[in-house]
Structure 1
């Protein structure tokens, strides 16, 4: 009465060897390099040469090749760029901490502090 099924079910699991898999560490490396690359773009936009070179070195270490850098500037508001850089450094810090990458943690935390200092402006003595 019913025709037998002659094709593979769409519900069967694919053979794990059919596609490449990355380890958790490789995935975290990719994420960290991505966050640092985005931070590098904003840092270049802010024309912060020293910090940009340190970020580029970390990206090169993670990817095994120097990052591609864009020379054009959007002339975006500096405060907005500092807020964006602070957020990106925070994301990089979380990933770097989860993979126990001390050099990237120190770099990301330092960039967060630097951008926060710019955003908060000079502190008055005795202000809380």
Structure 2
């Protein structure tokens, strides 16, 4: 009544299938470097030199090579850039915590605080 299955299942593949496999730590390193790179781009656009250098140093440590840097500094809306940087720093913090990378987690928390303070600063000035 039913014809037997003649092909291999697509749901089970042998472990040694010839494709390179990465460990969980390697995947987290790649993800962390990507989030840090995005944060670096926004930090460069905000023209924050010292934080950008700290972020670039961590990317270099993770990737083994220096990151590409932005050249169009200070061209965007500062409030929007600070909101974006705060969100990116939050993503960095989550991945750094998963990876147990204390140095990057502290850096991300500091950046979140700095961007949060930058977002609150205009409200305090206008409230007086």
TM-score range, shorter chain: 0.7 to 0.9
Q: CA RMSD in A?
A: 2.3
TM-score (norm 1): 0.85
Q: Distance in 1 between matches of 2:37 and 2:16?
A: 31
Q: Once structures 1 and 2 are overlaid, which stretch shifts more, 63-72 or 12-21?
A: 12-21
Q: Distance in 2 between matches of 1:122 and 1:71?
A: 27
Structure 1: 5+ residue stretches without partners: none
Q: Distance in 1 between matches of 2:11 and 2:35?
A: 36
Alignment of 1:44-55 (within 5 A): 44-55=44-55
Q: Corresponding residue for 2:107? A: 107
Residue deviations 1:72-92, cap 9 Å, x none?
Answer: 247221100000000000000
Q: Corresponding residue for 2:12? A: 13
Q: Corresponding residue for 2:97? A: 97
Alpha-carbon distance, 1:17 to partner: 2.0
SS in 2 for 1:57: helix
Q: Corresponding residue for 2:63? A: 63
Are the aligned partners of 2:47 and 2:73 in contact in 1 as well (CA < 8 Å)?
A: no
Q: Corresponding residue for 1:85? A: 85
Q: Call closer, same or farther: CA 1:30–1:12 in 2, change over 3 Å.
A: closer
Alpha-carbon distance, 1:71 to partner: 1.0
The structure 1 segments of at least 4 consecutive aligned residues displaced by more than 6 Å after TM superposition are 2-5
Structure 2: 5+ residue stretches without partners: none
| Number of aligned residues | 123
